[in-house]
Structure 1
Amino acid sequence: MPHGSSTGEPQLLDVLQALADPVRLGIVQELAAGDERPCGAFAPQLSKATRSHHLRVLREAGLTNTRNVGTRRLVSLRAAEMELRFPGLLASVLEASDRVATVRG
């Protein structure tokens, strides 16, 4: 359950908890590498319900935005908003994740 605030601004604990999950971190990495994508394009190995859960957690933490276009739901990373609220955080997490993946790979 997100901690949130009455201002609707992302809260640090919510963002960190959302990024701590490997599936959600992978979704954020994919979004950071490009533009918005359809919800179904992420984590194809997961059930639709599980994927929806992960996308909801990211959205509620303030990391992503979802918009409806016809019958499609498109997800985008709120990188600019994250940078304003938590300067350097998202870039640092993504860079550290890339380093870990390189070491493991």
Structure 2
Amino acid sequence: MRTLAHPEPEEIELDTVLSALADPVRRRIVRQLADGHDDQACIAFELPVSKSTSTHHFRVLREAGVIEQRYRGTSILNGLRDADLEARFPGLLPSILQAARSETSASSSA
């Protein structure tokens, strides 16, 4: 079975996580996973970018340790590594998600 490289929990670095989450498309992916849609295939995400660009965004999140990806058949399923992130950087992910949701609410009511 094919596998994808993921950093071990102790290898996850704050700068890399923050850099990965600085992009609005990647925050959108993380928000969708955090909102209870774990184990979603890449094609299930409605993103405003091309397929190759979305592949890049998923790879950046995986290599930063924010998401886990695994093959199921020909699909790649995505899951948020929230427990690993919480253990490594307590409170970081909930704070970022709260800010991202506020940002989305503000832009949709404008």
Q: Tell me what 2:72 maps to.
A: 69
Q: TM-score, normalised by structure 1?
A: 0.88
Normalised to the residue count of structure 2, the TM-score between the two structures is 0.84
Q: Residues 38 and 72 of structure 1 are in contact (CA less than 8 Å); yes or no, is this contact kept in structure 2?
A: yes
Structure 1 residue runs of 4+, over 3 Å off?
5-8
Q: Which runs of 5+ in 2 are unaligned?
A: 1-6
1:104 deviation in Å?
Answer: 2.3
**Alignment identity in percent?**
49
Verify the 8 A CA contact 1:27 1:43 in the aligned structure 2: no
AA partner of residue 79 (structure 1)? D
Bigger mean CA deviation after superposition, 82-91 or 31-40: 31-40
What's the CA shift string for 1:5-47, capped at 9, x where partnerless?
8986210000000000000000000000112100111234322
CA distance in 2, matches of 1:79, 1:32: 8
CA distance in 2, matches of 1:36, 1:7: 19
Contact 2:9 2:88 in 1 (8 A): no
RMSD: 1.8
Equivalences, count: 101
Taking a change above 3 Å as real, the CA distance of residues 6 and 84 of structure 1, as seen in their structure-2 partners, is: closer
Mark the CA change 1:103 to 1:65 in structure 2 (over 3 Å): closer, same or farther.
Answer: same
Report if the CA contact (8 A) 1:68-1:74 is conserved.
yes
Q: Distance in 1 between the 2:83 and 2:21 partners?
A: 17
